[in-house]
Amino acid sequence: MTPTHEYSEKLWQEALQHFPGGVNSPVRAFRGVGGTPFFTQRAKGSRLWDVDGNEYIDYVGSWGPMILGHAHPQVVRAVQEAARDGTSFGTPNPREIRLAQLVREAFPSMQKIRFVNSGTEATMSAIRLARGFTKRDKILKFEGCYHGHADALLVKAGSGGATFDVPDSAGVPADFARNTLTLPLNDFAALDTVNWREIACAIIEPIPANMGLIPLKPGFLEKLRKVTQDNGALLILDEVISGFRVARGGAQELFGIQADLTTLGKIIGGGLPVGAFGGRADVMDLLAPTGPVYQAGTLSGNPLAMGAGIATLEELSHSGAYEKLERRAASLGDEWKKIVKGHSVRIGSLFCTFFTDCEVVDYASAKTSDTKRYAKFFHAMLNRGVYLAPSQFEVGFLSLAHTETDIEETLRAAAEAVGKL
């Protein structure tokens, strides 16, 4: 029986009166799949319950940070204890130091860290710092990689070789975009077209996960590391999604490559708003108050976010956490590929399926996916109590709270949904 969403529908009509498009972040509006979004009442473990009482197995996990599952007892306790002491001080607090220790233990390349309040803020600040350190203006990014909504990063994907492109959003001056170079992902030859001596930094998701999930070709990241290093440009690895998600030390642990600067978010706040950037001490020491590159945030190092992050990372440091996560992800991913026709990809606890017959290696091939077919599949799964990302170009996230029963129910729902297609 198709679940009803009467109260969600009512709230949606009211939300449209208050918020542009009815939401406070665009993908929540279900524009990529159609229909009306549901409103969540509560969440626990691997499950969500909406305001109409419908229950869902959740593979969005607040877009990644809920790696322990929703309302994990240790995280809830940490937030409660922090709140009792006060929600914001505007002064240093001891929780900042403990969380920094946990991050640095996992990411040796982050010799010094600064906490911020979002992934966007982290990447924006890291790029400013790279420009200040190198005294160069131009930056390089890759087509389809998303690094937050800072002006310089909202640039359309270029075509062919190295091209300076136009803004991808109204309100971004063309002059900003002219200093942003875009290259096709996984294109080794394109790396040779760049005048690296004028590039301040290259920024890349080492596990691209914002146009669906696309693995980098073997050797691509290594070549990027070499050309930046040889020419005095900095390499920024955006691990906002992959950090603490694919391994304790993120993609850098998996691939054995160290960044000059790393950006983090999502998991290190345990579900509360947080981000961080860090890297080489000689670069980080250019930040105010010790250096000339200004960056500030009144709520940076917020005690509630620090407490939630500490609890999350301490849980993940327990022996066997990532092995358990990998086993769960493999048991889902292996069967999922057999059931859901298309091009399925899994890296650790991240997964997605492109509804296309071709191999997906870059943004152009990702865009060949049949988004209308994905939309039908999404709603068929939602009607069967499984919540996937409401966009073909977002990924699924598995958590330690997902059980074998959850996975069995998910695979059964997928088989039925594919049959309906």
DSSP code per residue over 133-158: HHT--EEEEETT----S-GGG-BPPP
Asked if residue 391 is part of any domain, the answer here is yes
Q: Which of 146, 322, 363, 374 is catalytic?
A: 146
- Please compute the mean of the pLDDT values over residues 208-213 and round it to a whole number: 94
238 is catalytic: yes
Phi, psi of 327 (to 5 degrees): -60, -45
Is 38 in the same domain as 171?
A: no
Q: Does 224 or 144 have the greater pLDDT score? A: 224
Among candidate residues 262, 285, 316, the one where a domain is terminated: 316
Q: Of 294, 316, 338, which one is at a domain's C-terminal end?
A: 316
Assess whether 66 and 106 both reside in one domain: no
326: pLDDT strictly greater than 90: yes
Query: E strand or H helix at 112, and its extent?
Result: strand 112-116
Domain containing residue 398: CATH number: 3.90.1150.10
pTM assigned to the model: 0.94
Q: How far apart are the first and last CA of the chain?
A: 17
From 165, 187, 238, 406, the catalytic residue: 238
Q: Which amino acid is at 269?
A: G
For residue 80, the domain's CATH number is 3.40.640.10
Residue 67 sits in the same domain as residue 80: no
C-alpha–C-alpha distance, residues 147 and 124, integer Å: 8
pLDDT of 156 strictly over 60: no
* Helices 303-316, 94-106: crossing angle, 10 deg rounding: 30
Shared domain for 134 and 213, answered yes or no, is yes
Do both 202 and 127 map to the same domain?
yes
- The per-residue pLDDT for 168 is 63
Does one domain contain both 19 and 83?
A: no
Q: Mean of the per-residue pLDDT values for the chain?
A: 93
117/212 same-domain check: yes
- Identify whether residues 259 and 154 lie together within a single domain: yes
362 in active site? no
> Structural domain tally of the chain?
2
The verdict on 105 and 226 lying in the same domain is yes
237-257 per-position pLDDT tens digit: 999 999 999 999 999 999 999
Range of the domain at 94: 73-316
In a domain, 221, yes or no: yes
| Boundary (domain end) residue, out of 316, 341, 366 | 316
> In the predicted model, what is the mean pLDDT of residues 285-311?
97
Are 186 and 228 found together in one domain?
A: yes
Please say if 341 is a catalytic residue: no
Q: Are 132 and 286 in contact (CB under 8 A)?
A: yes
Catalytic residue among 59, 187, 266, 374: 266
